[in-house]
Structure 1
Amino acid sequence: MSDQAPAAPPLPRVLDALGVGERDIASIVPLTGGTYNTVTRVTLADGRDWVVKTPPSRGPAVPRSPGSSTAKRIRPRRPARAWS
């Protein structure tokens, strides 16, 4: 058993980080086409519409493809050595 509290779902975490509280939200509608991300339309009480993309959870159920990590290290190539 873990002593850590479960992580909040990604959308509430993102909205909270942007200073958007529950009373600021008029509606939340799921959208399609986010590939592996979750895409949601958030309509705010003041009439603004936001489209918010959130990544999947970091659980073991998320399949990973080799080379798909955005954090992979890219080593620069050394310039060719000039022979004279």
Structure 2
Amino acid sequence: MSNTTSNTYPLRLPRSIKAAVEQLAKEEGISLNQFVAMAVAEKLTALNTAKFFADRKNRADFAAFRDILTREGGEPPREDDKLLD
């Protein structure tokens, strides 16, 4: 990670987790600090992605979606099309 500014944060980890993280960081060829920073960044990304899709779902117009799915016209289903439960 190449940020020009950073802050320190005293982090307390259970010994077993710290040992596992140290081992994984060593295998990746990075420092413990880099590993923890990347793990936090990945978690933030996952949470922000989940929020993005929840926000999109809340804006969805399901009546319009249903109208589109049931409208006349279009192509008939192919022989190999299947309904999913």
- TM interval, shorter chain, is under 0.3
Which TM-score applies when normalising by structure 2? 0.22
More strand by share: 1
Q: Please tell me whether Structure 1 or Structure 2 has the larger radius of gyration of its CA atoms.
A: 2
